[in-house]
Amino acid sequence: MGADSNHIATDVIILGAGINGCGIATELAQSGLNVVVLEKHTIGSGTSSKSSRLIHGGLRYLEQFEFGLVREALLDRQELLRRYPQLVKLKPFYLPIYKSSPRPAWMIWCGLKLYDLLTGRQSQSKSRIVNRSLFSDIAPQLKQDDLTAVFQYYDAKTDDLLLTQTVAEDAQSYGAVIHQFTIANSITHSDDLYTVSTNRGSFFAPILINASGPWIDEVNREFDLQARYRIRKISGIHVIFKGLLTQDLMFMQTAEKRIFFIIPEPENNQTIIGTTEREETVDIDAVRVSPDDVDYLLNQLNIYLKNEHRVTADDIKSFYIGVRPLIAYKEKPTDLSREYILDHHQFGNAHLVHVFGGKLTTYLSLARKVKRLLEKKVL
């Protein structure tokens, strides 16, 4: 990497220090490339700190036949459990089925068995049917009448911001340089180089990777970057309640066939409830939590809590909102895939790679695919 006052030449510039930008930086720096990450705010301050904090295959995506995505995420989950045992922990999840549940128990059971199968031989813990009297001991706060079945399965829980910061530290340990509070003013390219001019100087590299998450369309528009895809901006909120509403994680269904999680965090003496889905038309930085979203989650939760455990707005500690960058090719937000696409463009010897979509869980696979793509096209 060459530095001439505020003119820095490097091998790769990555825009965005979310989980994907940091994961790609780790992968590329580890393979010997000089990598600079430019982040307009702080590491992990975007969607990567606004998630449900689950490292999961995504049981729900089986309904959309996304077997490849679920399998990839489950393999990444295994690796993350091994790599960051203090940060990514396997937990039992309970899935109570009530008479009013929109999906029958047999369907959920088949889904869970498929989930076990996709987890593969490393599966530490297979899903199972839970005796209802045992469930009333496990979750005494939840209604027990009208239960038709209860299932238990396993997935992992993390702290999304801490995970992203840890991956950023890994990248830095391999030599990547991350510049926070760095705002791009212009992005141009010649036949050899991309130039990103920022408030902290100019950066030059033959490879530019756009990992700006849900900001991607706005970045492409502002800097006139060519792209083959667009995203739909689907926001989701989480409400944090004081104290533990249940001891274990719960996967709940709504009458409209949506789902929400009850996610107790004993380490913070709080419970996270989420999430919602709303299509956003405003710029990402203008997206805000709406009172309707909070009411929706409060009402859904109270449907399942026994009267003496019902919650009100006074029990809310805080809430947060994030925007999923989902690739825009289906109608209903719930049906939009959580998959990701790498969109490569070449101008002479200058290369641009956009990262469209992706989950927290799949950043490892995504980063490796970026490396393979660059090996094929550039290196």
Ligand X SMILES: Cc1cc2nc3c(=O)[nH]c(=O)nc-3n(C[C@H](O)[C@H](O)[C@H](O)COP(=O)(O)OP(=O)(O)OC[C@H]3O[C@@H](n4cnc5c(N)ncnc54)[C@H](O)[C@@H]3O)c2cc1C
The contact set with ligand X (CB under 6 A) reads 15-21, 38-41, 45-48, 50-54, 56, 184, 211-215, 219, 236, 275, 322-324, 358-361
Cβ neighbors of 176 (< 8 A, separation 6 or more) are 25, 26, 28, 29, 35, 36, 37
Q: Nearest CA to 340 among 129, 152, 69?
A: 69
Q: Which residues of 63-76 are buried (b: 16+ CB within 10 A; e: fewer)?
A: ebebeebbbbbbbb
Pick between residue 149 and residue 232 the one whose CB is nearest to ligand X: 232
3-state DSSP: the chain helix, strand, coil percent, rounded to 5? 35, 30, 35
Pick between residue 135 and residue 215 the one whose CB is nearest to ligand X: 215
Between CA 187 and CA 156 the distance in angstroms is: 39
Query: 278: helix, coil or strand?
Result: strand
Distance in Å, CB of 354 to ligand X, minimum = 11
Pick between residue 149 and residue 365 the one whose CB is nearest to ligand X: 365
Q: How many CB atoms lie within 10 A of CB 86?
A: 8
Pick between residue 47 and residue 172 the one whose CB is nearest to ligand X: 47
Element (H, E) at 262: strand 259-265
Distance in Å, CB of 134 to ligand X, minimum = 27
Pick between residue 206 and residue 322 the one whose CB is nearest to ligand X: 322
Question: Could you give the C-alpha distances from 208 to 27, 35, 67, 146, 362, in angstroms and in order?
Answer: 15, 10, 31, 55, 21
Between CA 122 and CA 274 the distance in angstroms is: 29
Pick between residue 301 and residue 360 the one whose CB is nearest to ligand X: 360
Distance in Å, CB of 266 to ligand X, minimum = 18
CA geometry: angle 102, 106, 108, nearest 5 deg: 60
Region of 120 (left: φ > 0; alpha: ψ -120 to 50; beta: rest) is left
Pick between residue 324 and residue 369 the one whose CB is nearest to ligand X: 324
Pick between residue 278 and residue 309 the one whose CB is nearest to ligand X: 278
Pick between residue 55 and residue 130 the one whose CB is nearest to ligand X: 55
Distance in Å, CB of 188 to ligand X, minimum = 14
Q: Interhelix angle for 160-173 vs 19-30, to 10°?
A: 20
Pick between residue 17 and residue 36 the one whose CB is nearest to ligand X: 17
Distance in Å, CB of 291 to ligand X, minimum = 17
- What is the secondary structure of 60-88 as a DSSP string? GGGGGT-HHHHHHHHHHHHHHHHH-TTT-
Pair 254, 283: CB distance under 8 Å = no
Distance in Å, CB of 111 to ligand X, minimum = 18
Distance in Å, CB of 221 to ligand X, minimum = 11
Q: Radius of gyration of the chain from Cα atoms?
A: 22
Distance in Å, CB of 106 to ligand X, minimum = 27
Distance in Å, CB of 281 to ligand X, minimum = 16
Residue 163 exposed, middle or buried by CB count within 10 Å (0-12, 13-18, 19+): buried
Which pair of tokens denotes residue 182?
Answer: 């760095």
